[in-house]
Amino acid sequence: MLTIEADRQRARHARTGRGFGSLPLLVRIGLVVLVLGGIADVVAHFGVGVGAPNAGHSAGHTADEIAAHLQVFVGMVLILLGVVADGVRQTRLGPRASNSRKGVS
């Protein structure tokens, strides 16, 4: 009987503790911004659809490259803010509220 209950608790924890949906909202938004910025960065650096890589400029970065780098940076900041905000919120709620949200009694 004890083994079955332990297996149920492990299964419940595995379902609720993992995945993109269990992350705080600001972290999820930051991840989406970061991934889109990474794709834009690759496209800007390799000049997809424009010809040769870095065509048309000999020094420095193009405006597209700088914009993609800025988007990646904004994504990182959003992720960091989401992690800090979630940690502060959990600290203010205390261990009981945090444990009850995780399914621990």
Between 8 and 76, residue with greater pLDDT: 76
**pLDDT greater than 60 at residue 8:** yes
Q: For residue 105, give every residue at least 6 positions away whose Cβ sits within 8 Å of its Cβ, in sequence order, or none.
A: 99
- The predicted model scores a pTM of 0.64
Predicted local distance difference test score (pLDDT) of residue 90:
86
DSSP 56: T
Is 37 exposed, middle or buried, given 0-12, 13-18 or 19+ CB atoms closer than 10 A?
A: buried
Q: In this prediction, what percent of the chain has a pLDDT beyond 70?
A: 61
Q: Could you tell me the CA-to-CA distances from 74 to 24, 70, 95, 97 in Å, in that order? A: 17, 6, 31, 31
**pLDDT greater than 80 at residue 95:** no
What residues does each domain of the chain span?
A: 21-102
Q: Tell me the per-residue pLDDT of 52-86, one tens digit each, with 9 for 90 and over.
A: 455 555 567 788 899 999 999 999 999 999 999 99
Rg (CA), the chain: 21
